[in-house]
Amino acid sequence: MRLTTTTSYSSTTDSERSALAIDVRNLTKKYKNGKVANDHLSLQVDRGTIFGLLGPNGAGKTTLVLQILGLLAPTSGSIYVEGIDVISNPEKVKPLAGYMPQTRIAMRNLEVDRALYITGRLRGQSHEQARKQSEGLLEMLDLTEHRKQFIDRLSGGLLRVAAMGMALMGDPHLVVLDEPTNELDPVRRRMVWDVILGLQDYYKHPVTCLLVTHNVLEAERIVERVAIIDKGKVAAIGTPGELKSQLGDEVRLEVVIKPDVLTEEIALKVEETLHDFGRVIPFRQGQYAVFVPRVGVGSATDKILGALDGLVDDFRLSPPSLEDVYIHVTGSKIELEDEQ
């Protein structure tokens, strides 16, 4: 089964659009070399929501984000952010948005505290406003002891956190975070998710967070709606619950084969055996996921373990996840790196 949940949009009135943080219609971006990054892509994001963007390498996520922020002109289509026509007035959108790119972090030659302060000043804050907010963010993001380190000398994880701090400076209505938890240890990842969940309280007004991430299992806990982008189009969109419900009554059985018995011949036997019970997705060497009907899952599990007797190192059953939706839509496992 291949999930192809899409949403068709009718025309939007001015009053309806004013309630949206982002309204993208029939967006196409075609580069001079002929590559189509976005292909008649449409999506709407309600104000004040945490909205996830998922998709494989080269799917067009970063291209979409750059157009939403007014940093890249589309070939055709329309983009509105907070009711502003981005294509006609890109400069009006930039003060409303905080952006954390996946790469090419700004102000790399400045100390962390100075970079935060200057970011605030560039966004129209007074000296005192920028000083006060930068001090607060240093504490909130656990960067106080690193405040005098230069951005370009930070470790990969600390660099990501500092970049997030710059994105949060000022008083944005839209915060765009591209892979915010890359290279972070578990403690800092949890901190980042907590900060995202607390954005509404932090700013005291509705803030929309557009989250581009490969970390689906963690992001699933905080995103309110999600769009899966594949081949430049929106392949599926909805709440995590809505998308998972489209998978039907299936359960995911993960099987891990003992490394010391794994050979090419054994791997072939394992895949042939698992295919008798459902769709099989190989994750990494010796690790497989097979999607089996919920009804009779106990019997199927017993038969699989019996057929692979002596080969299985570990196994576990779990209900469908957002990552499973991703696999259904794109036919591949989520990669760790996004397109540039």
| pTM of the predicted structure, to 2 decimals | 0.81
Check if the beta carbon of residue 287 is closer than 8 Å to that of residue 257. yes
Q: How remote is the C-alpha of 133 from its chain's centroid?
A: 26
Shared domain check, 312 and 220: no
Q: Could you tell me the pLDDT band of residue 216, with boundaries at 50, 70 and 90?
A: confident
Q: Is residue 326 part of a domain?
A: no
Domain-embedded: residue 185: yes
Q: Tell me the pLDDT of the chain averaged across its residues.
A: 88
**Do residues 209 and 21 touch, judged by C-beta distance below 8 A?**
no
Q: What is the DSSP letter of 178?
A: E
What is the per-residue pLDDT for 48?
94
Residue 246 identity: Q
Q: Do 203 and 265 belong to one domain?
A: no
Rg of the chain over Cα atoms, rounded to whole angstroms, equals 22
In this predicted model, which residue has the larger pLDDT, 128 or 215? 128
What's the CA gap between 99 and 24, in Å, rounded? 18
Same domain for 302 and 168, yes or no, is no
Q: Which two tokens stand for residue 122?
A: 């560039």
Q: Which domain holds residue 301?
A: 249-319
What CATH number corresponds to the domain at position 180?
3.40.50.300
Residue 8 lies inside a defined structural domain of this protein = no
Q: Does residue 265 lie within any of the structural domains?
A: yes
Residues 237 and 286 in one domain: no
pLDDT of residue 1: 42
Q: Is the pLDDT of residue 47 over 90?
A: yes
- Residue by residue, DSSP assigns 240-279 as HHHHHHTT-SEEEEEEEE-GGG--HHHHHHHHHHHHTTSE
121 and 32 within one domain? yes
Task: Indicate whether 325 belongs to any domain.
Answer: no
Do 24 and 143 belong together in one domain? yes
Q: Would you state the pLDDT for residue 2?
A: 42
pLDDT tens profile 301-336: 999 999 999 999 999 888 778 888 887 777 665 554
* Pairwise CA distance, residues 132 & 74, whole Å: 38
**Last-in-domain residue among 224, 244, 264:** 244
Query: Quick one: 193 and 230 in the same domain?
Result: yes
Question: How many Å apart are CA 202 and CA 199, to the nearest integer?
Answer: 5
Regarding whether 188 and 135 lie in a shared domain, the answer is yes
Question: DSSP string of 55-82?
Answer: --TTSSHHHHHHHHTTSS--SEEEEEET
Instruction: State how many domains the chain has.
Output: 2
In this structure, are residues 3 and 330 in contact, taking their beta carbons and an 8 Å threshold?
no
Give the end of a domain, one of 244, 275, 306: 244
Give pLDDT tens digits for 253-284. 889 999 999 898 999 999 999 999 988 888 77
User: At 257, which CATH number?
Assistant: 3.30.70.260
Confidence of residue 337 (pLDDT cuts 50, 70, 90): very low
d(CA 330, CA 325): 9
In a domain, 324, yes or no: no
Do 244 and 236 contact (CB within 8 A), yes or no?
Answer: no
Q: In this structure, what token pair is assigned to residue 21? A: 């943080």
Q: Is the pLDDT of residue 4 over 70?
A: no
CA distance 174 to 194: 17
